Amino acid sequence: MKTIKDLFELVAKATEENGKTYNQWFFDFSGHVNKMKIDYYPTGWKENFAPTMCESISQELNEDGIQALYWFVKTRLKKERSGKELFEAWADGTTYAPLK
């Protein structure tokens, strides 16, 4: 069972990844309602640039939510394909769909 501390340590690792790869992470922690939303852009994020691939998750920070958030981040940090490779696959129509 992963803890809130485990989750935030992983969030720190993902934050360090920003700017070093195509991957871009956005974290929205709402302490007043004990929730977290995570947006992951495997091909990067750029203002006024569309279409952009995005995967999102929003969970309460209870036991189940912590597990879901932790594994959402963990599995995306471990991806072997680069953001560029993911973008090329998406552009070819073989994976993902653009945001609408």
51-96 pLDDT, tens digit per residue, is 678 899 999 999 999 999 999 999 998 555 566 666 776 676 554 4
- 29 - beta bridge partners? 36
Angstrom distance (rounded) from CA 72 to CA 7: 10
| pLDDT, greater one: 42 or 100 | 42
pLDDT at position 78:
57
Q: What is the pTM of this model?
A: 0.73
Domains of the chain, by residue range, sit at 4-91
Determine how β-strand 55-60 pairs with β-strand 24-30: unpaired
Residue 49 has pLDDT above 90, yes or no: no
- Domain 4-91: CATH architecture, name and number where available: 2-Layer Sandwich (3.30)
